[in-house]
Structure 1
């Protein structure tokens, strides 16, 4: 009877060891999954922040382009006015404009 009991206890110990290993693997997987979910959330937060930064940069770019166009238009007007004055003063031939 003792041999049967010893054999049953050994099988029980093996089964408990397998169960502990299985639980440990499951807990590790859950921890890794949690780590991955945290990392994914951080990446999504970074993406949202970068999208906001990009929107801001595009807005500034459009403002700079508008300002550049305005300055370019004003420079062309100033050049035209100076050429007109020089033509009227006889310093510049009309065909040199």
Structure 2
């Protein structure tokens, strides 16, 4: 992910890369499993320098004591920077 990536949670709250890492490093979140189920679409544009991808994941985790078993769909916008693809925006649909 790019350093200034924005991640939008199902609640609509945006998080920076640092905030996202802090959330998952906290005791509030316990990851049991996190599996990529499918890559559903990829569209490359802007002369091959940008892309939008959608993908599905199955995640089992505990958040603040509540067990979650979610299938969720994500949309990620990527930009080619210095020859590498970097996620610049990601949005997670409600699981």
Give the TM-score category using the shorter length: under 0.3
Bigger RCO of structures 1 and 2 (CA < 8 A, at least 6 apart): 2
Which has the larger Rg? 1
Query: Counting helix residues as a fraction of each chain, which structure ranks higher?
Result: 1
In the superposition, the TM-score normalised over structure 2's length comes to 0.17
Question: By percentage of residues, which structure has more strand?
Answer: 2
- TM-score, length of structure 1 as denominator length: 0.17
